[in-house]
């Protein structure tokens, strides 16, 4: 008897996450303390006068933020081509006495501005501004840009002039203009060029159809399979051929069958980009493009390995060769690891604006996409909450959402987000207890991950 292979032991990664999350939710239930009314800061944070000063500054910036929302929306630019958009943002900053560095970290359409003392704690605010080819600001990154610039300018005012009592918080705020979120992992390019050096935490906000404090964002990798067979006359000598299209077809079916055993939040989607030239010739070359997504870094790594096995198995069955290419043209994106301690500050700040962000788990986690902020959030503690600009049933990346990203609701979302990001950053800088909680939580989640080598 000739035995080949043994059943592979299933990875316990997903199960381990479920067990840990259940334990975490139980602990959170036990620890939940009801707030005691309006404006309460029972657990510290920055002094109320300082917070009031940044929030007032954000309100006063409304005309500038409305201008950013409008001007970027009128001239949408895709990934790495945000020449006009980045220039607009740098111009608005300059109007308020802030000199930003355009072309920061080796990317021509990135920019960076700083305020405060680098000897103290440092928090970064990420501003995106790329659009989608063909449908413009259908992801609302014009609103993200206005929120980030607004938050930075509000903090700039308080960090340079202090509040009414002349109090100036310690620490530093860095505004990172991060191009090319859509499909090109611009933040990973910046991070590899040193953009996060000396930064302790990073925050941003994304527009959406609801206010949400914490939603699942899946890790994502790109994959290409190129199958190479032997061409032959499909009628006269088919036995002399080795069919690359058969390999692609079997691999595609293999994904379909794998879905039964995948963790429920894993995703694989594929296209067959090349499948031969003529029916009368056995296909020599077939190319399959895939995206693989998962909720955790380690389950994404598991999924990657199973996809490798599917490609190799299909090649073996068909007598073809397969070339497996991961992440060509874009870096892998890890999922977003949300910091709950920072999220608590964001929620408190949004409630002062009359918004009430939904906590994690209210929206289905199947409503999930991916973002290059994930890689930031595995290097330093971060948050990526959502702010409402449209009706709840309008999806991102649609013409309807693009229209919503230029409405008065988009402007008020930008102002509320600017105030919320600024207040969150201020709490982080001013409250050592909060900083300790943020970093203890980050360490308990596994600490920083070597993003560059994670999938090697
Ligand atoms: Zn998008
Ligand atoms: Zn987006």
CATH of the domain at 272: 3.30.70.360
Calculate ∠ Cα 329-330-335, nearest 5°. Answer: 160
Let me know whether 250 and 302 are in one domain.
yes
Ligand nearest to the CA of 369: 1
State the pLDDT at residue 366.
Answer: 82
Ligand nearest to the CA of 144: 2
Let me know whether 137 and 254 are in one domain.
no
Distance 139 CA to ligand 1 centre (A): 5
37-51, 158-172, 248-262, range with greatest mean pLDDT: 248-262
In a domain, 138, yes or no: yes
Tell me whether strands 111-116 and 101-102 are parallel, antiparallel or unpaired: antiparallel
Whether 138 contacts 396, CB under 8 Å: yes
**In the structure, what pLDDT confidence band is assigned to residue 363 with cuts at 50, 70 and 90?**
confident
Ligand nearest to the CA of 128: 2
Let me know whether 319 and 249 are in one domain.
yes
- Angle formed by the axes of helices 340-352 and 408-430, nearest 10°: 130
Ligand nearest to the CA of 182: 1
**In the structure, what pLDDT confidence band is assigned to residue 40 with cuts at 50, 70 and 90?**
very low
DSSP state at residue 213:
S
State the pLDDT at residue 31.
Answer: 59
Q: Where a domain ends, among 268, 292, 326? A: 326
Residue 125 phi, psi (nearest 5): -115, 125
Whether 135 contacts 402, CB under 8 Å: yes
Q: Where a domain ends, among 286, 305, 326? A: 326
Distance 208 CA to ligand 2 centre (A): 9
Distance 129 CA to ligand 2 centre (A): 9
Let me know whether 110 and 43 are in one domain.
yes
State the pLDDT at residue 34.
Answer: 42
Distance 259 CA to ligand 1 centre (A): 25
In a domain, 452, yes or no: no
Instruction: Specify the CATH number for the domain of residue 142.
Output: 3.40.630.10
Which residues form the domain of 296? 218-326
- Is the pLDDT score of 247 beyond 90? yes
State the pLDDT at residue 29.
Answer: 61
- Is the pLDDT score of 214 beyond 50? yes
- Is the pLDDT score of 25 beyond 80? no
CA dihedral 172, 178, 183, 185 (to 10 degrees): -50
Mean pLDDT of 42-52: 83
The label of the residue with tokens 């072309």 reads: 103
Let me know whether 113 and 198 are in one domain.
yes
User: What is the rounded CA–CA span in Å between residue 183 and residue 348?
Assistant: 32
Whether 195 contacts 105, CB under 8 Å: yes
The 3-state DSSP composition of the chain as helix, strand, coil percent (nearest 5) reads: 40, 15, 40
In a domain, 238, yes or no: yes
Distance 206 CA to ligand 1 centre (A): 9
DSSP codes, 10-54: PP-HHHHHHHHHHHHHHHHHHH-----STT--TT--S-HHHHHHH
Let me know whether 308 and 159 are in one domain.
no
Let me know whether 188 and 53 are in one domain.
yes
Least Cα distance to 55 among 388, 411, 352, 348 occurs for 352
Distance 274 CA to ligand 2 centre (A): 30
Distance 165 CA to ligand 2 centre (A): 39
Residues with Cβ–ion distance below 5 A, ligand 2: 139
Distance 335 CA to ligand 1 centre (A): 14
Let me know whether 95 and 128 are in one domain.
yes
- Is the pLDDT score of 27 beyond 80? no
Let me know whether 420 and 290 are in one domain.
no
- Is the pLDDT score of 30 beyond 80? no
In a domain, 8, yes or no: no
Distance 364 CA to ligand 1 centre (A): 18
CB atoms within 10 A of CB 162: 15
In a domain, 362, yes or no: yes
When mean pLDDT is compared across 54-58, 193-197, 244-248, 360-364, the lowest value belongs to 360-364
Distance 397 CA to ligand 1 centre (A): 6
Instruction: Count CA atoms closer than 13 A to 84's CA, side-chain side.
Output: 12
Least Cα distance to 173 among 121, 234, 230, 216 occurs for 121
**In the structure, what pLDDT confidence band is assigned to residue 23 with cuts at 50, 70 and 90?**
confident
Ligand nearest to the CA of 220: 1
| pTM of this structure | 0.93
**In the structure, what pLDDT confidence band is assigned to residue 1 with cuts at 50, 70 and 90?**
confident
User: What is the rounded CA–CA span in Å between residue 404 and residue 410?
Assistant: 7
Buried-state track 232-270, b at ≥16 Cβ within 10 A, e below 16: bebeeeeeebbbbbbbbbbbbebbeebeeebbebbbbeb
Distance 7 CA to ligand 1 centre (A): 39
Per the prediction, the chain carries an average pLDDT of: 94
Calculate ∠ Cα 216-218-223, nearest 5°. Answer: 170
Let me know whether 67 and 166 are in one domain.
yes
CB atoms within 10 A of CB 298: 17
Q: For residue range 91-149, list pLDDT tens digits in order.
A: 999 999 999 999 999 999 999 999 999 999 999 999 999 999 999 999 999 999 999 99
**In the structure, what pLDDT confidence band is assigned to residue 72 with cuts at 50, 70 and 90?**
very high
In a domain, 11, yes or no: no
- Is the pLDDT score of 389 beyond 90? yes
* Cα distances (angstroms) measured from residue 358 to each of 210, 284, 361: 8, 52, 8
State the pLDDT at residue 38.
Answer: 41
Distance 336 CA to ligand 2 centre (A): 13
C-alpha dihedral sign at 423, 206, 370, 29:
positive
DSSP state at residue 217:
-
Whether 213 contacts 351, CB under 8 Å: no
The label of the residue with tokens 């309008």 reads: 394
CB burial of residue 366 (10 Å; 0-12, 13-18, 19+)? exposed
Would you mind telling me the total number of residues written for the chain in this entry? 456
- Is the pLDDT score of 28 beyond 80? no
**In the structure, what pLDDT confidence band is assigned to residue 7 with cuts at 50, 70 and 90?**
confident
Mean pLDDT of 260-270: 95
In a domain, 65, yes or no: yes
**In the structure, what pLDDT confidence band is assigned to residue 65 with cuts at 50, 70 and 90?**
very high
Distance 145 CA to ligand 1 centre (A): 14
State the pLDDT at residue 37.
Answer: 40
Let me know whether 127 and 202 are in one domain.
yes
Distance 183 CA to ligand 1 centre (A): 8
C-alpha dihedral sign at 39, 444, 118, 417:
negative
State the pLDDT at residue 139.
Answer: 98
Q: Where a domain ends, among 326, 346, 378? A: 326
Q: For residue range 199-209, list pLDDT tens digits in order.
A: 999 999 999 99
State the pLDDT at residue 36.
Answer: 40
Ligand nearest to the CA of 135: 1
Domain count, the chain: 2
Mean pLDDT of 211-231: 96
- Is the pLDDT score of 54 beyond 90? yes
Ligand nearest to the CA of 395: 1
- Is the pLDDT score of 331 beyond 60? yes
C-alpha dihedral sign at 90, 91, 93, 97:
positive
Instruction: Looking at 175-272, list the stretches that DSSP marks H as alpha helix, in order from N- to C-terminal side.
Output: 186-192, 244-258
pLDDT over 70, % of the chain: 96
Distance 131 CA to ligand 2 centre (A): 9
- Is the pLDDT score of 12 beyond 70? yes
User: What is the rounded CA–CA span in Å between residue 208 and residue 335?
Assistant: 18
Let me know whether 285 and 365 are in one domain.
no
Residue 210 phi, psi (nearest 5): -150, 160
Q: For residue range 283-328, list pLDDT tens digits in order.
A: 999 999 999 999 999 999 999 999 999 999 999 999 999 999 999 9
In a domain, 247, yes or no: yes
């Amino acid at each position: 008897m000739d035995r080949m292979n043994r059943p592979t032991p299933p990875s316990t990664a997903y199960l381990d996450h479920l067990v840990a999350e259940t334990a975490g939710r139980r602990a959170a239930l036990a620890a939940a303390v009801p707030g005691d009314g309006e404006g309460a800061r029972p657990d510290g944070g920055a002094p109320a006068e300082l917070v009031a000063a940044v929030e007032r500054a954000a309100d006063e910036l409304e005309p500038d933020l409305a201008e950013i929302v409008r001007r970027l929306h009128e001239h949408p630019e895709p990934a790495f081509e945000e020449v006009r958009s980045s220039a607009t943002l740098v111009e608005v900053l300059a109007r308020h006495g802030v000199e930003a560095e355009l072309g920061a970290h080796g990317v021509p359409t990135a920019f960076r501005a700083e305020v405060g003392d680098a000897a103290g704690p440092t928090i970064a605010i990420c501003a995106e501004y790329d659009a989608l080819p063909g449908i413009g600001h259908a992801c609302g990154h014009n609103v993200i840009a206005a929120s980030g610039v607004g938050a930075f300018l509000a903090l700039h005012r308080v960090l340079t002039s202090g509040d009414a009592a002349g109090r100036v918080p310690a620490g530093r705020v860095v505004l990172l203009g991060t191009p090319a979120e859509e499909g090109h992992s611009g933040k990973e390019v910046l991070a590899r060029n040193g953009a996060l050096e000396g930064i302790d935490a990073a925050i941003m906000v994304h527009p959406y159809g609801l206010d949400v404090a914490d939603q699942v964002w899946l890790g994502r990798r790109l994959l290409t399979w190129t199958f190479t067979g032997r061409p032959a006359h499909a009628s006269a000598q088919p036995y002399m051929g080795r069919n690359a299209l058969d390999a692609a077809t079997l691999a595609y079916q293999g994904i379909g069958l794998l879905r039964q055993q995948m963790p429920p939040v894993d995703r694989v989607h594929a296209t067959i980009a090349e499948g031969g030239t003529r029916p009368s010739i056995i296909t020599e070359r077939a190319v399959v493009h895939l995206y693989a997504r998962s909720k955790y870094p380690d389950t994404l790594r598991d999924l990657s390995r199973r996809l490798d096995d599917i490609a190799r198995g299909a090649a073996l069955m068909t007598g073809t060769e397969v070339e497996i290419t991961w992440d060509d043209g874009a870096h892998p994106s890890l999922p977003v690891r949300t910091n709950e301690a920072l999220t608590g500050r964001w929620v408190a700040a949004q409630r002062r604006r009359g918004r009430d962000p939904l906590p994690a788990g209210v929206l289905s986690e199947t409503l999930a996409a991916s973002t290059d902020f994930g890689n930031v959030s595995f290097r330093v503690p971060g948050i990526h909450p959502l702010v409402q600009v449209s009706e709840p049933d309008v999806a991102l990346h649609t013409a309807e959402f693009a229209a919503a990203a230029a409405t008065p609701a988009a402007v008020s979302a930008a102002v509320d987000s600017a105030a919320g990001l600024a207040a969150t950053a201020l709490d982080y800088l001013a409250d050592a207890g909060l900083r300790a909680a943020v970093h203890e939580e980050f360490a308990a989640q596994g600490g920083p991950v070597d993003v560059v080598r994670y999938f090697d």
